[in-house]
Structure 1
Amino acid sequence: MLYMYLILLAVILSSVYLKCSYAMCRSKRRLNRKTALITGGTTGMGLQIAKDFAERGARVIIACPFEQEGVNSREYIIRKTRNKEVVFKLLDLSSFASVRKFANEIINIEKRLDILVNNAGVIFHKEYITKDELSSTMEINYFGHFLLTLLLLPVLKKTGQASIKSRIVNVTSQAHFIGKIDFEKINDINHWTSFQIYANSKLCMAIFTRELAKRLIGSHVVVNNADPGIVATYMVKPSNVILKVATNTYTIVARVFARTPWQGAQTTIYAALDLNAETVNGEMFYNCKLYEACSKVYNEDLAKIVWDESVKIVKLNPREVTA
């Protein structure tokens, strides 16, 4: 309980600074004849990213597990941008079967994939063990995205060119600084607090980004992390009284001090579009600038462990690992 409130105090103190220090993506790049896919692209920051890409002329695919939400968001983007090339597809990142079905649809239907934004995530939600026998937060925030990315790599590689590379942007968080890697307990929901599981998932994502970048050397695909800062967006689902208090405190702080979804989206948009962001690989962006991640992200031995264990957990067969 005390640990939770210390974290929230840190959030409150940093939020004032973060609210006033966000940067804007200044890129004027058009995305005509390009295809972009955003997980969690139906609400909050993901919706703002999808809307931005649609305004630039892209074919935009938004993915989430809720059909009516997806239909409504698609209609909203089309209405606001007058771009009818907006597609909604069902994707439940807490199910590897759903991820595989979704990836197969993309591979079979889409001719190209220029941008993949792994944005979807949950925090402080009702933790449970999924059908894949994993922590729900870990599967939604990390393992589902790990599997999705590797399944979509062939089309990303096919699309990328030396002059204009395909891009993968993994949305992470400053919470990765307190993340821990212990694959014997990583899915033990009774061992960790809800926030610690979230931090662990974001550390795994940041490490995955760096390891994937190393394995993609020589290809025309760039992958980087984007840290949006603290954003007032709906990814919080309280599961008990303690978490409800924490969630209510977080919500009050977010309304006053946190960045809006549009502000939070700027660094991800920058990492996906800006020409300077294409010249680096496996790095972290924050406030539309390069930012040093925690030391664990640069540990190559740890990265190999995260990669190998993740491949086992998501049950990829050797021919599916093309990185």
Structure 2
Amino acid sequence: MYGFLLIIAIIVILILVVAVVQKSTNAICLSKKRLDGKTVIVTGGTAGMGLHIATDLADRGAKVIIACPFEEEGTNATKQIVQETENENVVFKLLDLGSLKSVRKFAADIIKNEKRLDILINNAGIGTPGDFLTPDGMNFIMQVNYYGGFLLTLLLLPLLRKSGQPGEPSRILLTTSVLHRIGQVDVDKLNLTNYWFKLQIYGNSKLCLVLFGNRLAEELKGSHVVVNNVDPGAVGTRIFDSGSRVVGFFLKLVINCMFKTPWLGAQTALHVALDKKAGEVSGGYFQNCRVSKAVRRAYCEDTADSLWKESVKLVQLTKSELEECLRT
């Protein structure tokens, strides 16, 4: 009996030590930069980390456009941000990254009605809710986490290029994950169902984002637009609810206690969106508010090139559209 209690005590102590060490390494965005006159888009800006990011940027005076596929959630988030920041220039727009039609509609609306776009934060994503194909013929997890953001980013590039200036580039953020390290990229199998474990699909989607960010950074050389990947770390958000709500509740509780709350998870994205030196980096991978390194295979140019070509085909970008998106 005493032996069992001793083992439990040792486990508890180890957990507490890990929590203390982890918490001590969590960085916070220290930028005091104002964003008056600037326009920002935060996908998934209606809950979790995205809501904290959107609220912070609105508090700095930016026009903040938050996007998600849920009308009620978007309306409530808009009211909350306005109330907390007293910034009335907060707009909610519907965006379903699991639908190419929705992505194109959203992007066309932004291009038509916005005079500028200074920061695009691709924050929206899902966990492992299901392994099935969307009406567009892509794996659901892959389309929401990668292909939808791929298309959205390219379609908004003309406005981002127009808004960037020497010394003040427009910024694109792609929210990846530490689980990109388990990701695999086989362009012929990425969208198969009943082939990968769902967690593997999630890792694949996050590795694709890093490869996309690196390739896009090369395409954007010579322009006043930078693109970087952001790894927020282990954050207790509702993304863990996608499997079991009960399990998700306990996972969120443990991760919030041991690693990061959504507010802490938002800090690296804010740093990359605001910090002057971060604005001088393109093709970077950021963790805890500093440049880090992704898994080695994320820097394979041949893989990035194959993924780029396949992604362009899958999201149905025509040659003329792609040329317009990338024209500097």
Q: TM-score, normalised by structure 2?
A: 0.90
- SS of the residue corresponding to residue 235 of structure 1 reads helix
Alignment of 1:170-181 (within 5 A): 170-181=174-185
CA distance in 2, matches of 1:101, 1:15: 46
User: Match for 1:284: what amino acid?
Assistant: Y
- State the number of aligned residues: 309
CA distance in 2, matches of 1:32, 1:75: 20
Check conservation: 2:238, 2:252, Cα contact below 8 A: no
User: Match for 2:119: what amino acid?
Assistant: I
Superposition RMSD on alpha carbons, in Å? 1.7
CA distance in 2, matches of 1:244, 1:108: 40
Say yes or no: does 1:168 pair with 2:169: no
CA distance in 2, matches of 1:94, 1:120: 11
Which residue pairs with 2:157 in the alignment? 153
Check conservation: 1:126, 1:237, Cα contact below 8 A: no
Which residue pairs with 1:316 in the alignment? 317
CA distance in 1, matches of 2:141, 2:25: 29
Which residue pairs with 1:292 in the alignment? 293
Which residue pairs with 2:147 in the alignment? 143
Which string of whole-angstrom CA distances, capped at 9 and with x for unpartnered residues, describes residues 72-109 of structure 1? 00000000000000000000000000000000000001
- SS of the residue corresponding to residue 117 of structure 1 reads strand
Change (3 A) 1:191 1:247: farther
Say yes or no: does 1:229 pair with 2:233: yes
CA distance in 2, matches of 1:25, 1:15: 23
CA distance in 1, matches of 2:58, 2:198: 35
CA distance in 1, matches of 2:47, 2:268: 17
- SS of the residue corresponding to residue 236 of structure 1 reads helix
Which residue pairs with 2:58 in the alignment? 54
Alignment of 1:18-167 (within 5 A): 18-167=22-171
Identity %: 50
Change (3 A) 1:307 1:168: same
User: Match for 2:229: what amino acid?
Assistant: N
User: Match for 1:135: what amino acid?
Assistant: N
Deviates more, 1:313-322 or 1:59-68: 313-322
Unpaired runs of at least 5, structure 2: 1-14
Change (3 A) 1:246 1:189: farther
Check conservation: 1:173, 1:227, Cα contact below 8 A: yes
Which residue pairs with 1:4 in the alignment? none
CA distance in 2, matches of 1:216, 1:158: 13
Which string of whole-angstrom CA distances, capped at 9 and with x for unpartnered residues, describes residues 262-309 of structure 1? 100000001111001011110101000010111111111111011111
Check conservation: 1:24, 1:288, Cα contact below 8 A: yes
Say yes or no: does 1:204 pair with 2:208: yes
CA distance in 2, matches of 1:262, 1:276: 22
Give the superposition deviation at 1:189.
2.4
Change (3 A) 1:55 1:226: same
User: Match for 1:99: what amino acid?
Assistant: V
User: Match for 1:90: what amino acid?
Assistant: L
Give the superposition deviation at 1:122.
0.7
Check conservation: 1:18, 1:229, Cα contact below 8 A: no
CA distance in 2, matches of 1:65, 1:18: 34
Give the superposition deviation at 1:251.
3.0
Q: TM-score, normalised by structure 1?
A: 0.92
Give the superposition deviation at 1:253.
2.3
Say yes or no: does 1:270 pair with 2:268: no
Deviates more, 1:80-89 or 1:119-128: 119-128
Check conservation: 1:124, 1:247, Cα contact below 8 A: no
Give the superposition deviation at 1:257.
1.6
Give the superposition deviation at 1:15.
7.0
Change (3 A) 1:14 1:178: farther
Larger RCO (CA within 8 A; separation ≥ 6): 1
Change (3 A) 1:72 1:14: farther
Which string of whole-angstrom CA distances, capped at 9 and with x for unpartnered residues, describes residues 118-161 of structure 1? 00011121332111111111000000000000000000001101
